[in-house]
């Protein structure tokens, strides 16, 4: 995944390198920890109007300008917003929140840190009403201890996990399927896909992904993009824009959003189908 964002003004992303860890944040300036969790982020985000909201993992980046759509935790039906940024999250996910300096001054960026200290979600504000929202967050009296990460289990598939995936597949709506990505970014789901049953999920060659995305843009076909972070997925509805390829990076830009995918980090690609919905699921090496 590229560490810098090309054409930031047209793509609405922050210019320059995006810090990926607590140590990188501290190297750039003061870090102020605040009380809260993903529910705090979700509730705050619905009150923002002109923020830059970015999710970045090892292979993909999704950045949009505006605010979050209606509150959507894992217990609610999945809805993709037509105009705002969708955030679906697991309220029990373990995170820390920290304010850092942005283009608009001190404490204008809210960072969500995972248990390893990686920054998976970043919200930067520029206007006074949005700044006031961040200033309203309660500071921690002392630096919180980062929760110990839950290490991935060995790549062994239990029979009970396979049975559970098969049994609930047909009766799960899009929201329940997306919850798999909120829980562990889809790691457990990835191990069971080949066992869920015929015509439910099947692998395809990752080399066709670039051509497929080009087809969507050439035909101006609306599609939903979802990028998982620690305990959540960020999504938007893409209705076109400009698509270009920079080495192994596919970069899709429009005036209010940017999506980047490093095909060099994609190891597995699956098509999944449930009800009337079809998803293209991309997985990195881990």
How many CB atoms sit inside 10 A of residue 28's CB?
14
Lowest mean pLDDT among 9-13, 78-82, 84-88, 249-253: 9-13
pLDDT score of 205 more than 50 = yes
Return the pLDDT at 151: 54
pLDDT of residue 24: 93
Average pLDDT score over the chain:
88
- What are the residue ranges of helices labelled H in 193-277? 209-218
pTM for the structure as a whole: 0.89
How far are the Cα atoms of 44, 108, 167 from residue 48, in angstroms, in the given order?
Answer: 7, 12, 40
pLDDT at 162: 80
Q: What is the pLDDT of residue 169?
A: 85
pLDDT for position 163: 81
pLDDT at 7: 42
Strand ranges of the sheet holding 86-89, from the earlier edge strand across to the other edge: 72-73, 86-89, 232-238, 223-229
185-199 tens-digit pLDDT: 888 899 899 999 888
Beta bridge partner(s), residue 85: 68
Lowest mean pLDDT among 49-58, 71-80, 135-144: 135-144
Pairing of strands 119-124, 105-113: antiparallel
User: pLDDT of 92-150, one tens digit each?
Assistant: 999 999 999 998 888 899 999 998 899 999 999 999 989 998 989 999 876 676 656 55
**Distance of alpha carbon 45 from alpha carbon 71, whole angstroms:** 9
- The fraction of the chain above a pLDDT of 70, given in percent, is 88
Rounded Cα–Cα distance for residues 168 and 171 (Å)? 5
- What is the pLDDT averaged over residues 55-66? 95
For the chain, first and last CA: distance in Å?
14
- Cβ atoms within 10 A of the Cβ of 27, count? 10
pLDDT at 3: 47
C-alpha closest to that of 66 among 47, 86, 52: 52
d(CA 249, CA 2): 8
Give the pLDDT mean for 221-242. Answer: 95
Task: Give me the pLDDT at residue 265, please.
Answer: 93
Which of 2-11, 216-225, 273-282 has the highest average model confidence (pLDDT)? 216-225
Nearest to 144 by CA among 168, 117, 170: 117
Q: State the burial class of residue 85 (Cβ atoms within 10 Å of its Cβ: 0-12, 13-18, 19+).
A: buried
Q: Does the pLDDT at position 2 exceed 70? A: no
Q: Give the pLDDT of residue 91.
A: 95
Q: Which of 115-129, 149-163, 229-243, 248-262 has the lowest mean pLDDT?
A: 149-163
Label residue 235 by pLDDT band (50, 70, 90). very high
The answer to whether residues 97 and 36 touch, using CB atoms and an 8 Å cutoff, is: yes
CA–CA dist 259, 278 (Å, integer): 20
Range in 26-30, 37-41, 169-173, 202-206 the model is least confident about: 169-173
CB 109 within 8 A of CB 24: no
Q: Rounded CA gap, 226 and 23, in Å?
A: 27
Q: Phi-psi category of 169—alpha, beta or left, where left has phi over 0 and alpha has psi -120 to 50? A: alpha
């Amino acid at each position: 995944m590229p560490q810098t964002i090309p054409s930031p003004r047209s793509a609405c992303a922050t210019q320059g390198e995006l810090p990926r860890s607590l140590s990188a944040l501290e190297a750039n300036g003061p870090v102020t920890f605040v009380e809260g969790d993903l529910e705090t982020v979700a509730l705050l985000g619905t009150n923002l109007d002109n923020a830059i909201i970015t999710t970045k993992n090892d292979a993909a980046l999704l950045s949009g300008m505006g605010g979050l759509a209606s509150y959507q935790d894992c217990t609610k039906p999945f809805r993709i917003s037509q105009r705002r940024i969708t955030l679906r999250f697991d309220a029990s996910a373990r995170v820390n929140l920290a304010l850092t300096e942005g283009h608009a001054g001190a404490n204008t960026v809210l960072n969500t840190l995972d248990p390893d200290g990686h920054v998976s979600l970043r919200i930067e504000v520029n206007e006074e009403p949005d700044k006031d929202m961040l200033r309203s967050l309660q500071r921690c009296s002392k630096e919180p201890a980062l929760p110990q990460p839950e290490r991935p289990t060995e790549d062994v598939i239990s029979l009970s996990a396979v049975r559970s995936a098969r049994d609930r597949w047909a009766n799960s709506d899009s929201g329940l399927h997306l919850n798999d990505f909120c829980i562990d970014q889809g790691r457990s789901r990835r191990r069971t896909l080949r066992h869920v049953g015929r015509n439910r999920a099947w692998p395809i060659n990752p080399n066709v992904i670039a051509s497929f995305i080009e087809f969507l843009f050439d035909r101006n076909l609306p599609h939903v993009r979802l990028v998982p972070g620690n305990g959540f997925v960020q999504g938007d509805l893409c209705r076109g824009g400009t698509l270009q390829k920079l080495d192994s990076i596919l970069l899709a830009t429009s005036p209010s959003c940017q999506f980047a995918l490093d095909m060099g980090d994609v190891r597995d690609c699956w098509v999944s189908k449930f009800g009337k919905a079809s998803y293209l699921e991309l997985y990195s090496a881990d």
